[in-house]
Structure 1
């Protein structure tokens, strides 16, 4: 855990106390209560007639996306080796009550794959952020609130640096800052998340969730994934996973991005799980120190996949932040 200098800690305590009185929904350490992994009976957009995955043309090829809900536009950027189908459907449904929600496949993944089957071998966070910008432009949106999870949070940060005029607010979930102050994934964790075979799924569940939530996650995770009609997330090619790994490695060495983030004008909510085994909550605390207009919430008894563990509470928390 990052050690905060005494003077800063004291002033932070005063600020937190004042903030708690004014707005008790936000604090440095919060609880979302009991995990909501199983038994939800709320709306999910993949059961709504007409919701389907379409494609638009980006500068580097087709981009698969889905768009649903009503309200202010909210763009969600997913993480490492993930398709748009790996968002929790109930989380998306809760967000869609207040927002027009847009989810899309990162390049080389799902429907964002050109006929030739590849996007080249050298691209990074700026390139994937440019793809996100192409989604915004392709849907003729001026500004959007942006939510990024895990590697998607890194892409979201880059988007806010490269095109701040397009980003109304930024929500960063279980992610890490650029530069050497970050705590990267360990090689062992990367191997777990990249795994295949009969034992891969239980290992991934154990990596994404706290021990007391793994049993429910193992039972309900796949059924709770966003599954619009006709959409099947293709297996992520090894070459794409390798490139995403290289992009993250470059991100953790990007001191220029870290310096730029310290001058970012974008209002930002950082949400981290106190039990995140993939990207430790130390990353969230360092992000909060970097970004001038940041609010940090570390969620007790939460792992890396917060949108599956607490889909409704996390959606409410994002709604409250975006609406401020």
Structure 2
């Protein structure tokens, strides 16, 4: 059974709400009017809802939508599956099939459905970044009736497609932080490698967000369980061929963590999908691109009205 870890500190500056998927409790926050259609934002590996910046969310709200961001299981204020322990990642290191995942991406997609159920809406526009894009793909595949549109950002249909450069993988595997300051330093070091080379790194905001995330619930073991879920969930390419949900794929042309071929493969797999790529963009969302990115998301959502 999952637990709320005792070191987790709720952010009292925002109103956190919760949804339950069996023993899993999901923390989420919403912006905008409850009368507007919902855009659900799902973030990636080891990354809390904070990565969907409030100003980014506000651009979507200004477009006429209620925006909901959530913490996945094993991250932030959502349930951490401490009792599950660490997965055995040895087979992955030797190119074998990973079988010790504690859950799959489809289970994480079901968490997102629990949030939608709690919101009391029939269907949402689901937007996912990185691992969140994989979860969003599973959401649309398993629950097309709950999906108004799908936007997959710097993601892939399979971990073997668009696999990271050696330098990006090394940055992802930096030693865990032991304090807020170390968490900030670690984030800056990582995004200097995987971030957007064509745009300045907003180091101050990144440090502030990393410190806040550390206070809310830093959990390297939880990140390992999420990574195992990615590798144990297999290749979605053939399944995506049957998807009829309006789909948008956004990807940075200079992404070293999920390389451009991951986005290209996602768009090629989904009939009628639109692919938009950005020169100079890596594995993050530079503030300078927020107007362009949110305009694409809103245009897709508006097209379904």
User: Any idea what SS the aligned residue of 2:149 has?
Assistant: strand
Aligned to 1:268: 247
Indicate if the aligned counterparts of 2:196 and 2:286 stay in contact, CA closer than 8 A.
Answer: no
RMSD of Structure 2 on Structure 1 (CA): 2.7
Aligned to 1:322: 301
Q: 1:53 aligns with which of 5, 8, 16?
A: 16
Q: Find the aligned partners of 1:101 and 1:290 in 2 and give their Cα distance.
A: 27
TM-score (ref. length: structure 2)? 0.79
TM-score (ref. length: structure 1)? 0.75
Superimposed CA distance per residue, residues 233-288 of structure 1 (whole angstroms, 9 cap, x where no aligned partner): 211x222111111112224xx24x32111111111000001111111111111111
Which structure is richer in relative contact order (CA contacts within 8 A, separation 6 or more)? 1
Aligned to 1:77: 42
Tell me how far 1:223 sits from its aligned partner.
Answer: 4.8
Tell me how far 1:169 sits from its aligned partner.
Answer: 0.2
Aligned to 1:233: 216
Tell me how far 1:296 sits from its aligned partner.
Answer: 0.4
Indicate if the aligned counterparts of 1:52 and 1:66 stay in contact, CA closer than 8 A.
Answer: yes
Aligned to 1:243: 225
Indicate if the aligned counterparts of 1:189 and 1:278 stay in contact, CA closer than 8 A.
Answer: yes
Superimposed CA distance per residue, residues 61-120 of structure 1 (whole angstroms, 9 cap, x where no aligned partner): 211000111321000111010111122221111112221011111001111126x74566
Q: Which moved more, 1:57-66 or 1:152-161?
A: 57-66
Report how many residues are paired. 267
- Change beyond 3 A, Cα 1:177–1:296: same
Q: Find the aligned partners of 2:162 and 2:224 in 1 and give their Cα distance.
A: 19
Structure 1 runs not aligned, ≥5 long: 1-48
Structure 2 runs not aligned, ≥5 long: 1-11, 88-101
Q: 1:277 aligns with which of 250, 253, 256?
A: 256
Q: How does 1:82-121 map to 2 (within 5 A)?
A: 82-97=47-62, 98-113=64-79, 117-118=82-83
Say whether 1:201 aligns with 2:192.
no
- Change beyond 3 A, Cα 1:111–1:321: same
